[in-house]
Amino acid sequence: MIIRPNMTGSSVKAVAFSDLDGNLTYVNHSFVKLWGYSDEKELFGKPAADFWETKEKVNEMVAALRTRGVWAGNLIARRKDGSLKDIQLLATTVAGENGTNVCMMSSFTDLSEVKRLEEELEKREAAL
């Protein structure tokens, strides 16, 4: 099933939907940019787990989604070119009319600039 939300614009936040097996079915333009791709079609059907550096955290996230229906935390993303980014992720299951889960939805925030500023602040504090 491919999900195509009715969106006239694109969210500033990166957003993705996946089927219950974790394969991407929809990504917005911000997601495409964040991961360094040029077109959303490159991403359809790819396992969401392939975009993360640490598989253990991905397994933790999937287990939480199955039991609680939601997971939030920070992960290290592996971009198309192999570079890494610190990402804050909020993932949730989406239920259909009968209450059973039909897909998963996630939003992503790039923490790279925050991390850079934290490191800069630590260096300045150490210099004082």
In a domain? residue 36: yes
Could you tell me the CA-to-CA distances from 77 to 36, 99, 108, 110 in Å, in that order?
A: 11, 31, 10, 9
In a domain? residue 7: no
Q: Which domain holds residue 56?
A: 14-127
- Give the count of domains, the chain: 1
Q: Where are the alpha helices (DSSP H) in the chain?
A: 29-34, 55-68, 112-127
- Specify the pTM: 0.79
In a domain? residue 120: yes
In a domain? residue 5: no
Q: For residue 61, give the amino acid letter.
A: M
Tokens 């959303």 locate to 40
> Alpha-carbon distance 122 to 116, whole Å?
10
> Alpha-carbon distance 15 to 6, whole Å?
13
In a domain? residue 26: yes
> Alpha-carbon distance 128 to 119, whole Å?
14
Give 8's pLDDT tier (boundaries 50, 70, 90): very low
The CATH number of the domain holding residue 103 is 3.30.450.20
Query: What digits encode the pLDDT tens for the residues 22-77?
Result: 899 999 999 999 999 999 999 999 999 899 998 888 888 888 988 999 999 999 99
